[in-house]
Amino acid sequence: MVKVDTLKEIVKKKKERILLAKQSLPEQELKDKMQSLPAAKTFIESINKSRDISLIAEIKKASPSSGIIRQDFNLGEISLNYKEAGVQALSVLTEEDYFAGSPSYINEVKNLVDLPVLRKDFILEPYQVYESRFLGADAILLIADLLSKETLSELLQLAQNLGLDCLLEVHTEKEVKKALSLKVPLIGINNRDLHSLEVDFEVTEKLFPLIPKEKVVVVESGIKNRQDVLFLKILGVSAVLIGQAFLEAQDIKKKVEEVMGW
């Protein structure tokens, strides 16, 4: 049986979506519309607490590995629950085809809560960086596996020029080396293999020691309970990115407090 490469499928769809977006709002128009935007919030500062582990709480309706995660998906309710629970930042899924997200979610969330927002999507080219800033994101996700060192360098520079922080996501030793050669301050270790969708917590154990202490490290995927968070806190991780464990719970705020020990 041929294994499906999920990341390949997602990227194929994403390229089609980018073409449509450019037709709807050409890049020059997008740049013109950005002139009067307020400054973005500093995402890194909000999650870099010296003696504690921070939480980036994720908003996503579905995922390729689990299908629909939350049936009664109410963007406003979820955002306010996270805010009340005291999370440090939000991650908002905007990918439409596999995660049932929408670019409009960022603005909706920002109108409700004053937390820094990471745009979680599959960013492939400069247009999407401009688009992220226009949508109201404070930070963007860049996936080391998806992009060449040259493209990453270009997108990181552009994001910096626009006042956006970047979370550069890695899953292998090779990708860690790529990230470190680019001198990024914020690195995400994803325990999930985006090709097979399998999760392995040992990825963090293997990669974390390779990253210099001065970097801000976020761990993503497979974090389900207080024990997981405590393990990562002892390891020295700056922040965890958690979505599914909260969104599957009936009482989101209570689940956040339980998992984080707040």
How confident is the model at residue 201, as a pLDDT? Answer: 92
223: tokens are 């974090």
Ordered by where they begin, the domains of the chain are: 6-23+42-260 (3.20.20.70)
Higher-confidence residue of 51 and 150: namely 150
How confident is the model at residue 4, as a pLDDT? Answer: 79
- The whole-chain average pLDDT of the chain stands at 95
Once rounded to an integer, what is the mean pLDDT over residues 128-150? 97
* Cβ-contact 213, 185 below 8 angstroms: no
- Start-end of H helices in 25-103: 27-33, 43-47, 75-85
pLDDT of residue 188 exceeding 90, the answer is: yes
How confident is the model at residue 35, as a pLDDT? Answer: 84
Q: Could you give the percent of the chain with pLDDT greater than 90?
A: 91
Once rounded to an integer, what is the mean pLDDT over residues 66-93? 95
Q: What DSSP state is assigned to residue 72? A: S
Q: pTM of the entire structure?
A: 0.96
Specify the residue for token string 């596996």: 145
Radius of gyration (C-alpha) of the chain in whole angstroms: 17
How confident is the model at residue 2, as a pLDDT? Answer: 54
Q: Which residues belong to the active site? A: 58, 60, 120, 169, 190, 220-221
How confident is the model at residue 1, as a pLDDT? Answer: 56
* Cβ-contact 197, 228 below 8 angstroms: no
